[in-house]
Structure 1
Amino acid sequence: MKTNWTYLKWYFTSREGWLGDYDYLYLVTPNVWPLNRKYKGYKAPFYGLNDDVPILLTIILGLQHALCMIGSIVSPPLAIAGGAFYFDSATTQYLVSAAFITTGIATALQVTRVHLMKTPFFIGTGLLSVVGPTFDILPIAFNYTSMRYANGTCPTAEDGTQLPCPDAWGAILGSILCTVWVQIAMSFVPPKTLNKVFPKVVTGSLLLLVGVYLVSNGMENWGGSSNCHDGEGFYALCPDTAAPRPLPWGHPKLIGLGFTVFVSIVLVEQFGAPLMKSASVIIGLFVGCLVSGLTGYWSMSNIQAAPAVTFLWVNTFHLSVDGALILPLLIMFVCEAVSCMPDILATAEISNVDIEGTEFNSRVQGGILCDGIGSFISALGTGPPMVSQAGNNGVISLTGCASRRAGWCAAAFLVLMGVFGKFGAVFGSMPPSVLGGMQVFLYSTIAVAGLRVLSLVRYTRRNRFILTVALGIGFVDIVQPTWFDQMLTYSGNNVALSGFEQGINLIVETPFIIAAVVGVVLNLVLPNDASQMDDMILDQAGHPIMGKDD
């Protein structure tokens, strides 16, 4: 105890404890000649998981990790609120704030790594892993609300305008609370077994399909708003007829607003300082908001009306369970349990810890379990489900800090961002074109992550066949989303049968889910036939290598 007190006294009262010997100028030096000459070839000192990190650096990097997550945190609730359920601005702002709070809680749990007593199991990776809302819920939410508006269980105005449908979000939340247990159970399955059933050829195709599907949604917003594309009545103009400067969908001025975000992100990546590069998305949003505000496309009334402080359950939804959601959500959570494994591996590798063996397997187990518990907590807090992400690995690489202290600090900043209601109101009220410019970039990174995973696959004849079939069916859903509408059209009084039919429709019409089903089934049933072509797979240097199916 005395030793701990002595250390704390030194840490909080000494110059070394506060500043250390870190070169802070490196963090803010732009990549512009001649300013960058000093740091050409410079390598930042590395701080491990439990190393002593100066307090100031901990605060700076904690904020930096929080900032690099903002885009991926706000995008799912904004897409859910505006593109699926047609929520008003107050509800949208609340969902954004709730997402920040639940993300902060889940991230703190992931970084802490809680040992389950008298068992070999953990909750959390114990790495500087971040947890954020999963984008996989978006295709399910879009298809589910489309179905409910079509069958009349979500309200529609006399002129055909689709009205807010909070009960549908309550049904998704209630169904999540019932289905997330499959992911929690899968966390106790050995990672080797999960990799065998869900190889990279499956998980990579899932990420690719999710990214491509969502880019389409992001482009709808970039053009003005997904609501006003071919909209009528209140949504005849974008984002609606009551906006400060409404314009038709795809108007050059709206496209230009989105480009201010996209171009800003590119310029920051090229010329920005290390701190700026890892916050390029939020800087791009700032530029887009500034331009749209100065040119009269942004009304500040929603921000002014937002509460200064908010928290979970300020806005609640009637919870229910819809049978049509059970199968799609079960498949989604099975996919979540597997798709987070490459991200955990990447974070472990860049954090300079073991990436194989018993300890690493326990980190994967703890990460999957934490994601499941995080999704459960988030659903209780009215937020979207959670998944581990590797978007902060760029911050670790640039700054050389993998310390968990920065992770705890980032979690605290995220909770504070959610508590201050005005912060969420900024994102909830920004013009859809600005949001769309950010979303197209962000969603494209998901597709690129899928390509990265697929690049690790050995392209045997068997794997190419699985990819061809799974991606072919998945892309059908993207390019012709209504192709299955006339297949199952039961209209009788059997509620159970109707729910089952709607669930099948959701599975078939959600790209990554149908691709997952097809990919897993083919991977399990297709024989591992050997061929001479498979023996001549080339490595990255162009040399032939021997290999087995992955």
Structure 2
Amino acid sequence: MEETGKAEEYKAELIYGLNDRPPLRETIFAALQHLLAIFVAIITPPLIIAGALKLDIETTSFLVSMALFVSGISTFIQCKRVGCIGTGLLCIQGTSFSFIGPIISAGLTGGLPVVFGACMAASSVEMVISRLLKYTRKIITPLVSGIVVTLIGMSLIKVGIIACGGGAMAQTDGTFGSFRNVGLAALVLVSIIFFNRNSNRYLRMSSIVIGLIIGYIVAWSIGMVDFSTVQNYGGFNIPVPFKYGIAFDFSAFIALGLVYLITAIEAYGDITANSLISGEPVEGKVFIKRASGGILADGFNSMLAGAFSSFPNSVFAQNNGMIQLTGVASRYVGYYIAGFLILLGLFPAVGLVFSLMPEPVLGGATLLMFGTVASAGIRIISAQRIDRKATLVMALSFSLGLSVELVPEILCQLPDSLKNIFSSGITTGGVTAILANALIRIEE
């Protein structure tokens, strides 16, 4: 009853409810604000993955374009609710940061075919969970989710700091960690912090975009951006299913499957928050139908992403805050957001411009983003009761998870199949958290 009362309070504060149709001008304005909040978050994972796998500009550009294109389709499915797939809420989806670590590991061993094959196969984990929601919530508790989210952020900080130093190429040509690279990354980082702490909500929402623009302009002015490497900015990107082929690798499947497991639980929380601030029920048959449909869409859209040369999608929590800021919860706004994303994805110029972004510029932003991911996990953990059992579960999970990240050589005597599975700190720490939480029994 208390949750129902909160939902009614939020509903009273809305300007436009879930099924209202705002005037065109207000709809477009609200859609552009959402787009501003998610654009960088959508394009960043493919840029990071492409940099780690040393892909060429054309491939990187295509991956960025497909990330935008698939995010548009995914958002439309979530907002529209196609059959039993989707929430029917103003629920935005985009490329997920959580999968970056396992994807890079899979890509380094088997290339893009293994990445997309594993992403598609492992998405079935989340789709199955959507049908068994009440049971999986007993296994993946908030404590386990918090540990895994923290490990995801901590593991990715290494990727961020390498980008700040100049990336993998700089490590080979002797320029890694140069004043130019580190200074540029620091400029972006400081710019984002400066605008994020501003009292003007529009500057705050745009802080990452502004920071990247400042860094890009400075990088161009000092000769770090070479537009001459691109022969043509025109034309259209035609989405081609399975453009890079697909292959299957069991160790990559296990690593990604675990992240899909955690993503399902995170999606449940995000959908609950979305439903609440939209003035909709957060319990009962209607809500369970929405939640299970949203998680099913999470998995289905990630499978779709793999087919179209993109990476797994997840529900974006930041857009829940945008609904509160604008007072617009209309799912019809989501159709416009989806349309904008699809259009951006069809023009190769968008992907090419961002593919030319120097790694230190991207690193300055992602370092902060990954730290934010880790802090989000800590917040989830801190909301739980930290008793002796929880302390032991955290100690085991962080010790084993971070050990293989910091000293990967510890696995050198294992068979390759096991080494590939447990080389990811997210997988090792996540499996440890699930097993320790289930098996450790302490009488207080």
Query: CA 1:371 to 1:185, structure 2 compared with 1: closer, same or farther past 3 Å?
Result: same
Query: CA 1:342 to 1:481, structure 2 compared with 1: closer, same or farther past 3 Å?
Result: farther
Q: Identify the residue that residue 94 of structure 2 maps to in structure 1.
A: 132
Q: Mapping of 1:118-517 within 5 angstroms? A: 122-146=84-108, 148=109, 168-190=111-133, 192-229=134-171, 231=172, 236-237=173-174, 248-271=175-198, 273-303=200-230, 305-313=232-240, 316-484=243-411, 486-489=412-415, 501-502=416-417, 504-517=418-431
Q: Is 2:11 the counterpart of 1:49?
A: no
SS at 1:467 equivalent: helix
How big is the shift at 1:263? 2.0
CA distance in 2, matches of 1:144, 1:315: 17
SS at 1:387 equivalent: strand
Dislocated runs of 4+, deviation >4 Å: none
How big is the shift at 1:199? 0.1
Q: Specify which of 61, 64, 80 is matched with residue 33 of structure 2.
A: 64
Q: Specify which of 514, 521, 529 is matched with residue 435 of structure 2.
A: 521
SS at 1:468 equivalent: helix
Query: CA 1:297 to 1:82, structure 2 compared with 1: closer, same or farther past 3 Å?
Result: same
Amino acid at match of 1:508: F
CA distance in 1, matches of 2:283, 2:385: 20
SS at 2:260 equivalent: helix
Query: Is the 8 Å Cα contact of residues 14 and 278 (structure 2) preserved in structure 1?
Result: no
Moved more, 377-386 or 394-403: 394-403
Q: What is the identity percentage for the equivalent residue pairs of Structure 1 and Structure 2?
A: 30
SS at 1:114 equivalent: coil
CA distance in 1, matches of 2:79, 2:63: 24
CA distance in 1, matches of 2:383, 2:288: 20
Query: Is the 8 Å Cα contact of residues 422 and 428 (structure 2) preserved in structure 1?
Result: yes
Amino acid at match of 1:209: L
Q: Identify the residue that residue 95 of structure 1 maps to in structure 2.
A: 63
Query: CA 1:94 to 1:272, structure 2 compared with 1: closer, same or farther past 3 Å?
Result: farther
Query: Is the 8 Å Cα contact of residues 257 and 433 (structure 1) preserved in structure 2?
Result: yes
CA RMSD of aligned residues (A): 2.1
SS at 2:93 equivalent: strand
Q: Identify the residue that residue 51 of structure 2 maps to in structure 1.
A: 82
SS at 2:239 equivalent: coil
SS at 2:19 equivalent: coil
CA distance in 2, matches of 1:326, 1:481: 20
CA distance in 2, matches of 1:114, 1:314: 21
Query: Is the 8 Å Cα contact of residues 261 and 434 (structure 1) preserved in structure 2?
Result: yes
Query: CA 1:133 to 1:482, structure 2 compared with 1: closer, same or farther past 3 Å?
Result: farther
Could you report, residue by residue, the CA deviation over 1:166-212 in whole angstroms, capped at 9, with x for unpaired residues? x611122123333322221111113x322111001111111111111
Structure-2-length-normalised TM-score = 0.92
Structure with more helix by fraction: 2
Q: Quick check: which has more Rg, 1 or 2? A: 1
Q: Which runs of 5+ in 2 are unaligned?
A: 1-11
How big is the shift at 1:306? 3.5
CA distance in 2, matches of 1:389, 1:378: 16
CA distance in 1, matches of 2:21, 2:119: 40
How big is the shift at 1:145? 4.1
Amino acid at match of 1:78: L
Moved more, 90-99 or 61-70: 61-70
CA distance in 2, matches of 1:58, 1:303: 36
Could you report, residue by residue, the CA deviation over 1:387-407 in whole angstroms, capped at 9, with x for unpaired residues? 112022232222222221222
Query: CA 1:297 to 1:44, structure 2 compared with 1: closer, same or farther past 3 Å?
Result: farther
Could you report, residue by residue, the CA deviation over 1:354-398 in whole angstroms, capped at 9, with x for unpaired residues? 222322222220111001110111111011111112022232222
Q: Mapping of 1:2-13 within 5 angstroms? A: none
CA distance in 1, matches of 2:140, 2:103: 24
- The one of the two structures with greater contact order (alpha-carbon pairs below 8 A, sep at least 6) is 2
